[in-house]
Structure formats: C-alpha cells, structure tokens
Amino acid sequence: MNYWLIKSEPEMCSYADLEKSPKKTTYWDGVRNYQARNTLRDLMKKGDRCFFYHSNAEPSGIAGICEVVKEGYPDWTAFEKGHEHFDEKSDPDNPTWFMVDVKAVRPMPRLITLAELKSVKGLEKMVLLQKGSRLSVQPVTAKEWAIVCKHAGVAP
C-alpha cells in the first residue's frame, strides 16, 4: 500500500465536507500541475491511504485520513466550459488532467498542525515540510505515515 498527502483549502472542501458527501466520497478534481497529475494518473492505487491536509487555513494541518476508492481517470471538469477548472487545452480524446475518488476513513482526534509536524522527530524529510513545497498531491513514506499516526494517536 502507498501513502499520500493531498491538500485542500477547507474553504473549498474541508475534511468535514468530505465526511458529509454521499458515501463519504468525492472526486479530487482541479489538480493542474503535471507532477501531481502523474501521481494521480499513474501511482495512486485503490486502497492507498491519504492524509487530508488543510492548506491556506487557520491553522493549516492534517485533518483526517482518506482512502483512494477509484484510480486515476480523466478530470472531466477540464472539459466543461464555464467550470471553474475548465482548461481548453485538455482534449477529451487525450486528456491532460486526471483525478481520483477519495473516501473519508477517519478524522484526526484533533487537527495536527503544520507547526506541530515541523517539530516531530523523523519527519524532517517529509515533502510537506520542505522549503517551498507546493505540491498538492505528494508521497508520504510508510515510516512518515506511522510517525504521524502515532503522534496523532490514531491507528496507522
């Protein structure tokens, strides 16, 4: 199993919003970055776990854990004229952008803030904590996953 961290602005879609979605599931649309696209399209597999991270938030941090329930498929919001994520350069016959479906698994007992993560031993190399890191879909190692879960007091 692989582990990931996905960022969402809670104003747009918070972890609580995901839990309130039908079947606690939503499609992860709107990623318009090639590196993140490759991860969505090629690497994220059914059953993989993701930290659900609140970015641009007060405070920012990991709010919960979710699971990939549908592997990479074309992000159709890129084809919808007028849609917030419309991209005229993405051809339905050869889509540029992809998305996955994720389902809420469990909330963190409390928000694990970015400031807090920075002080946890063993997370120094975590992509999230690297200077200038802006990737909205990023890998988490099994070790990092275990450390964060232990720190948060949830089952890995």
CB of residue 130 vs DNA: minimum separation in angstroms? Answer: 7
Among 3, 4, 5, 7, binds DNA (CB under 7 A): 7
> Does position 135 bind DNA by CB under 7 A?
yes
CB of residue 2 vs DNA: minimum separation in angstroms? Answer: 20
Site string for DNA, 79-118 (x = CB under 7 A): -----------------------------------xx---
Q: How far apart are CA 156 and CA 73, in angstroms?
A: 27
User: Which residues ranging from 12 to 41 are in contact with DNA (CB under 7 A)?
Assistant: 32-35
Q: How far apart are CA 21 and CA 84, in angstroms?
A: 20
Q: Are strands 3-8 and 49-54 parallel, antiparallel or unpaired?
A: parallel
Handedness of CA 34, 124, 44, 21 (dihedral sign): negative
Tokens of 136: 């909205």
Q: How far apart are CA 100 and CA 83, in angstroms?
A: 18
Site string for DNA, 37-76 (x = CB under 7 A): ------------------xxx--x----------------
Chain centroid to CA 105: how far? Answer: 13
- By CB under 7 A, name the binding residues for DNA: 7, 9, 32-35, 55-57, 60, 114-115, 131-136
